[in-house]
Structure 1
Amino acid sequence: MSDRVKWIDAAKGIGIILVVMSHAPIHDSIKNFLFAFHMPMFFYLSGIVYKTSSLPTSTFILKKARGLLLPYFIFSFITYIVWFFVTRHFPFTSGDQVDPIVPFSGIFISTPVDYQLTYNPAIWFLTCLFVVEVLFYLYQRLSKGRWLPILLIGCGFIGYLSSIIISSNVLPWSILVALTAIVFYGLGYATKHLWKSYSWRSVLIVGAALYAITFIAQGLNTERIDMRGNIYGEIWYFYIGATAGLIATILLAHKLARFHYLVYLGQYSIVILLLHFPALNLMKASVYYGLNMEMAETTTLPWTLFYTVSTLLLMVPCIIFLKKYPFLLGKKKPKKSQRTVKPA
């Protein structure tokens, strides 16, 4: 079980690094490639760790609300305050053009429409995952685990149809996006027993081929994938690219699970998800004001890596602080009598 957890955490670690990288100044081709699979992979990994629950519906919903909605609202208010007083005034953001009431209302609606999440764009994932987990739990309770392919095909079709007809993520808490996200979540749940480690040779060959498929599929797609906005382009290119990319990353994660810092990042990926956007804006400000450089001048790979690494380093003290106050993340503090597993 410990090996399984390590590779899942390693996959989350890789994923959250790619999330931070994709939000930094970056070349469009790399950004498009990363957007094609990194969020589908997080929903897939969430499905892997889902366990069939016998809890009453109200108890299950309260449990998920504590773990997902409580940190969502706490850090929405915190990052909104940072945005209001600091980051919205940076000239490389659109903050001064936004009525502060709009993103404040976005805290409760949690959709990216009309700058509602401009204070912290990545935080949408928590409300969407809450919707996905509740829907999947209700499916399990009502069907006893049967007809999963029908559920996934149906949700995938309706979710994709919504992206064509409505063409925006307009419903509260990303309900439309949840229809597509549940496809990857359900696949993760259904295929978790299939994963195992392969040789480095196999991983490198197969992984490179799969990443190439993702890159080609995204290149053929007419849209840049953006799950947050419910934008997928052509359905076949979207699902092929997303599936190939997440498989390649998970194969790689099995081999990289021995790297303790990567596992550490995966264990606390929620902290990075919640706080990396304000931190990234601070790093941009240091370059803009300190070196007098426009953001468009820093989209080369070395600069992208600089933003990514420096932002992740800023996350370490945040992680250390939140480990002392886990209730802010909706978690209980371990009892002193219990042995805790420290990240190596």
Structure 2
Amino acid sequence: MGIKLINTDMLKNNRLAWVDYTRGIAIILVLYRHIFEGISRTGLPTAEYSYLEHANIIFYSFRMPLFFILSGIFIGKSLAKRPVGKLIANKFSILLYPYFVWSILQVTLQLVLSKYVNADRHAADYAYILFFPRRIDQFWYLYALFNVTVLYMLTREKLKLGIWQQLLLGAGMYLVSSYVTQKSIDLGFVYDILHYYIFFALGDLLSARILDQGNFSRFASWKTFLLLLPVFVAGQFYFLTKNLEVNDNLYVEAWQPVLFAVIAVSGCAFMACIAFLLQRYNALRMLRVVGFHSLYIYVSHVLVASAVRLVLMKGLGVTNVPVLLVICLAAAIIIPIMIYNIAMHYGAWWLYSLEKPAGNGKTLAVQNA
């Protein structure tokens, strides 16, 4: 049999389609930002395309909270299936292990190819992997999700904190993250724990209702869509105009944390509504495939997009910003999926997890938790 470069088998099982749709939307927004900023660092006149920069600012307002809320939704189900110790080991395998593998690989390649890439790397940067993950491009998210998940499990199962206590703890941590940002205090990986714990806890709070299939018709209704639409538009309009006004893309998040949380959560709710509508009509099925592969896209998309951009600019002389953005975005979605499926075909599952895949050994399941 040949290699399945784009595996669609996951569409046939009992996975929750709306989860894959939501992850698909979120990962595309993540790629957009990273690729656009990579193009900006080349010195090309991205400022001439203000609509692209405006989209970049808007997408930033909810995409990462969305990932943490999604993970929080499934933490209760995961703990019902496995004890804390085994679940931590699982999270190490599927989150922290690929974080180390791919961040070390990326830093190494950036050092070796320093003449050709726009990342300024030094050998000392390897220490950032442990302490200052945000300085290693996109990888901080995996480290943060592992840390937040483990801390949440321990406080829930060992300290017996209830959901409202978790939300109160998360709110306090969230406000501290805003304070240290305002004071320009770099806490490294600790900042991400403080900042995103509240969104993970919110996911846990919503889990019973959002996983109840009896509510799916309500979430997938056009009435819900129309109710959320003006809230979403108003929040994104304010987020964009305020950040442009002060010339700081992080102003609202850092200096107006409560308002940012409202904007982020409303954005997440609107994206979830769109995902439920897509599930209802079984539309844009390839977006489900993208969502299923979101982790595998995430770990390698910067390497892929950088390589494609280099070929386009240096080899083919392409300098049009929108053209570069579209081609690199498409490549950063498709090629990582192909790499993943080739790796699974040849037994290189260890690139993505410490756990050998079950069954035919060709695919790793993306866990909802």
Quick check: TM above 0.5? yes
1:94–1:152 distance in 2 versus 1, CA, 3 Å: same
Q: What residue number does 1:7 align with?
A: 18
Does residue 180 (structure 1) correspond to residue 195 (structure 2)? The answer is yes
Pairing partner for 2:151 from 119, 135, 141? 135
Q: What residue number does 2:86 align with?
A: 59
1:334–1:236 distance in 2 versus 1, CA, 3 Å: same
1:281–1:77 distance in 2 versus 1, CA, 3 Å: same
Give the whole-Å Cα distance in 2 for the aligned partners of 1:232 and 1:189.
Answer: 25
Note the C-alpha offset of 1:4.
Answer: 6.3
Contact 1:68/1:130 (8 A) holds in 2: yes
Q: What residue number does 2:329 align with?
A: 308
Give the whole-Å Cα distance in 1 for the aligned partners of 2:327 and 2:228.
Answer: 25
Between 1:199-208 and 1:136-145, the stretch displaced more is 199-208
Gaps of 5+ in 1: none
Q: What residue number does 1:273 align with?
A: 298
Residue 36 of structure 2 aligns to a residue whose secondary structure is coil
Give the whole-Å Cα distance in 1 for the aligned partners of 2:249 and 2:190.
Answer: 20
Q: What residue number does 1:202 align with?
A: 223
Note the C-alpha offset of 1:199.
Answer: 5.1
Amino acid at match of 2:87: F
Pairing partner for 2:112 from 38, 60, 85? 85
Gaps of 5+ in 2: 1-12, 38-51, 211-215
1:254–1:239 distance in 2 versus 1, CA, 3 Å: same
Give the whole-Å Cα distance in 1 for the aligned partners of 2:361 and 2:123.
Answer: 47
1:1-344 aligned within 5 A: 5-25=16-36, 27-50=52-75, 51=77, 53=79, 57-86=84-113, 88-90=114-116, 93-95=118-120, 98=121, 100-112=122-134, 116-117=135-136, 121-144=137-160, 146=162, 148-165=163-180, 167=182, 170-172=186-188, 174-195=189-210, 196-197=216-217, 198=219, 201-202=222-223, 204-219=225-240, 220=242, 223-225=248-250, 232-257=254-279, 258=282, 259-294=284-319, 297-298=320-321, 300=322, 303-324=324-345, 325-330=348-353, 331-336=355-360
The normalised TM-score by structure 2 is 0.77
Residue 32 of structure 1 aligns to a residue whose secondary structure is helix
Between 1:237-246 and 1:315-324, the stretch displaced more is 315-324
Amino acid at match of 1:332: K
Aligned length: 321
Give the whole-Å Cα distance in 2 for the aligned partners of 1:239 and 1:308.
Answer: 28
1:209–1:286 distance in 2 versus 1, CA, 3 Å: farther
Identity of counterpart residues, as a percentage? 20
Note the C-alpha offset of 1:169.
Answer: 7.3
Note the C-alpha offset of 1:65.
Answer: 1.2
Contact 1:159/1:179 (8 A) holds in 2: yes
Contact 1:224/1:233 (8 A) holds in 2: no
Between 1:42-51 and 1:204-213, the stretch displaced more is 204-213
Note the C-alpha offset of 1:25.
Answer: 2.1
1:10–1:199 distance in 2 versus 1, CA, 3 Å: closer
Root mean square deviation, CA, Å: 3.0
